[in-house]
Amino acid sequence: MSLKWQCIVVDCIDPGPLARWWADLLGWRITFEEPDEVVLEPPEGSPEDGVSPDILFGRVPETKQIKNRIHFDLRPDDQALEVARAEALGARRVDVGQDEPVTWVVLADPGGNEYCILRALTPDDTPSADAPRDNRRPPGSSRAGAESHPRCRFRNMPIVRITVTAVSDEGDNVVVWGRAEHAPSEGETIGFVFQTKGEQADIALAERASRLVDGTEAAIDYIPVAGGWNLGTGLSPSP
C-alpha cells in the first residue's frame, strides 16, 4: 500500500489567525503560510515530528454551520489545567450531545470547530504505541459524532463490570466470559476476546486477562465486533 497520511485539512474563513491559535494551543510550529493556506507541524525533533499528520488550515468562503463530522482528541497530562489554558486562549465549552458523566471535555476553537480534551492517563493505563484507546463512557450511553483512533487508547467505547465465569486460552486469543452486573446487560453472560496476535493485539493485556479467576469482578473496556463477540481493550483492576 503506497498511501500515507499527510495532513488533516481544516476549512476556515481566515486561516492565519486560526492556525496561530492552534499553534499556541498545541505548541506546534507554522511551516508554511500563504493567505489561503497555513500548515502546522509538531515541534522539530519531537516524538510527534514526522509521525503525526500535519494540520492544514485552508480558506473557504462559508462559515461553519453544523457540528463537525470529525474532530481532534487531545490527551493532556493535566486535564483541568489544559482546559483552563484553552479557555484562556478563547476556546469555549460546547454541548454536542455528550451524556453525563463523561471524562472528556468538549470545546470549540475560535472558528467553532469542536475538539475534546481527554482525561489524563493513569499508571494503570500503561499505553503503548499499539495500545487501543481508553474507554470513557458507561454501557448504554450515547454520544453524537464520529470518533477517531490515534496512537493512544480507544475513546468512547463501552465498559462493563462483570463477575468472571470462565477464562480460556484459545491459541491467539484469551477469552473471558462473565456475567454483567449493570444495565443494560445485567445478568447476561458476555464473552470478551483479548488478542495476542493481529492488529489489535496487546500481549500484556491478554496475559492479565488470562490470570482472572472464576468469581472475581473485573471492569472491561471493549469494542463490539461482528459475530456477537467483544474485543477487550482494557481491564481493571489488574489481577
Report domain extents, the chain. 1-63, 65-120, 122-239
* Per-residue confidence (pLDDT) for residue 106, from 0 to 100: 93
Q: What is the pLDDT of residues 43-79, one digit of tens each?
A: 999 988 888 999 999 999 998 888 888 999 999 999 9
Q: For 65, what's the count of Cα atoms within 13 Å in the CB-facing half-sphere?
A: 3
Contact 202, 231 (CB under 8 A): no
Quote the cell numbers at residue 106.
468538549
d(C-alpha 201, C-alpha 88), whole Å? 40
Decide if pLDDT at 86 tops 60: yes
Angle subtended at Cα 77 by Cα 124 and Cα 70, rounded to the nearest 5 degrees: 95
d(C-alpha 7, C-alpha 188), whole Å? 44
At the topology level of CATH, where does 65-120 sit? 2,3-Dihydroxybiphenyl 1,2-Dioxygenase; domain 1 (3.10.180)
* Per-residue confidence (pLDDT) for residue 186, from 0 to 100: 57
Residue type (1 letter), 101: P
Stated as kind and residue range, the H or E segment containing 218 is strand 217-224
- What is 122-239's CATH number? 2.40.50.140
Quote the cell numbers at residue 129.
504505541
CB neighbourhood size of 189 (10 A): 13
Quote the cell numbers at residue 3.
498511501
Q: What is the pLDDT of residues 160-204, one digit of tens each?
A: 788 999 999 888 889 998 888 654 455 678 888 988 887 667 888
Quick one: DSSP state of residue 226? G
User: How many angstroms separate the Cα of 123 from the Cα of each of 36, 126, 128?
Assistant: 43, 6, 12
pTM: 0.55
Domains 65-120 and 122-239 fall in the same CATH topology: no
* Per-residue confidence (pLDDT) for residue 227, from 0 to 100: 55
Which of helix, strand or coil describes residue 23? helix
Q: Where are the alpha helices (DSSP H) in the chain?
A: 15-26, 79-89, 203-210
Closest-CA residue to 10 (of 45, 52, 38): 38
Decide if pLDDT at 135 tops 80: no
d(C-alpha 174, C-alpha 81), whole Å? 39
Q: 158: pLDDT confidence band, cut at 50, 70 and 90?
A: low
Which superfamily does CATH assign the domain made up of 1-63 to? 2,3-Dihydroxybiphenyl 1,2-Dioxygenase, domain 1 (3.10.180.10)
